[in-house]
Amino acid sequence: MTDTVAVADWQAWQRSWDRQQEWYLPDREDRFRVMLDTVEAVVGPEPRILDLACGTGSISDRALRRFPGATSTGVDLDPALLTIARGHFAAEPRAEFVTADLRDPGWTERLPHRAYDAVLTATALHWLRSDELRVLYGQVAGVVREGGVFLNADHMPDPETPRLNAAAHAYQKARQARARAEGTQDWADWWRTAARDEVLAGPVAERFSIFGNPAEGDHADGETQPVAWHAGALRAAGFGEARAVWCSPSDAMVLGLK
């Protein structure tokens, strides 16, 4: 009798992650496009990229497809998402992944390079408190080369537009309800599916031990700030220029230029 070894379809898991994220972010591809347009405009078509809080490597995936001469280092703490990323990019020599906690003061020491042309992140840093994010921005400034760029696309609601915020929130909830009725998975559903997978069950259990179970809520410590706060924090961290380069009613992308 021959033993059967479980093999994951990493590309399918990557697509599944993208679909789940798009339930929350219908303009996700648009922000990625603007992000990579900005990278090319500032540092050219062969960037050395640091994919910060990379998850499954969504930014790296799009960057390496767009820029044949690019390389990418993904850094994250989540063992389940990194398992998918490493599987998805197993045959891609331009991509490498590092396990590190961005709250660890020494996380940059784990990186394979001392400087990067572009540090990119999307929908991840809202997990941090504002004081932690200020510290992280200072650390990021230390790994972006002179003339390089940092881009952070995330939830950045503006408290000065409460009626618009309420309307956008109501529209988002209605759109999500329609998608759910059609079978789209949300965050908690996706993790329950991953936990039942023979290959991912172990990394998912480890992930739950670090971050908690999504069904019980695991964003409790994070904070969101408006664009002006991020731009000010980036300038204070050592970036010469900082401003928004893309926005929606609830999200924005801020740029820091060394």
| Token code pair at residue 48 | 């050395």
Q: Which residue has the tokens 């980036």?
A: 234
Place of tokens 């090319």: 40
Nearest residue to 55 (alpha-carbon basis) of 194, 179, 181: 194
Rounded CA separation 133/113 (Å): 22
Q: What is the pLDDT of residue 220?
A: 56
- pLDDT score at 147: 98
User: pLDDT 10s digit of each residue in the chain, 258 long?
Assistant: 344 445 689 999 999 999 999 999 999 999 999 999 999 999 999 999 999 999 999 999 999 999 999 999 999 999 999 999 999 999 999 999 999 999 999 999 999 999 999 999 999 999 999 999 999 999 999 999 999 999 999 999 999 999 999 999 999 999 999 999 998 899 999 999 999 999 999 999 999 999 998 876 655 578 999 999 999 999 999 999 999 999 999 999 999 999
Quote the CA–CA distance of 236 and 19 in Å, as a whole number: 36
d(CA 49, CA 58): 13
**Amino acid (1-letter code) at residue 46:** E
> What is the DSSP annotation of 216-245?
G---TT-----HHHHHHHHHHHT-SEEEEE
Burial level of 239, CB count in 10 A (0-12/13-18/19+)? buried
How far is residue 119's CA from residue 47's CA, in Å, rounded to a whole number?
Answer: 10
Residues in a beta bridge with 97: 74
Instruction: Output the pTM of the full model.
Output: 0.94
Nearest CA to 215 out of 224, 226, 204 is that of 204
How far is C-alpha 121 from the geometric centre of its chain's CA atoms?
5
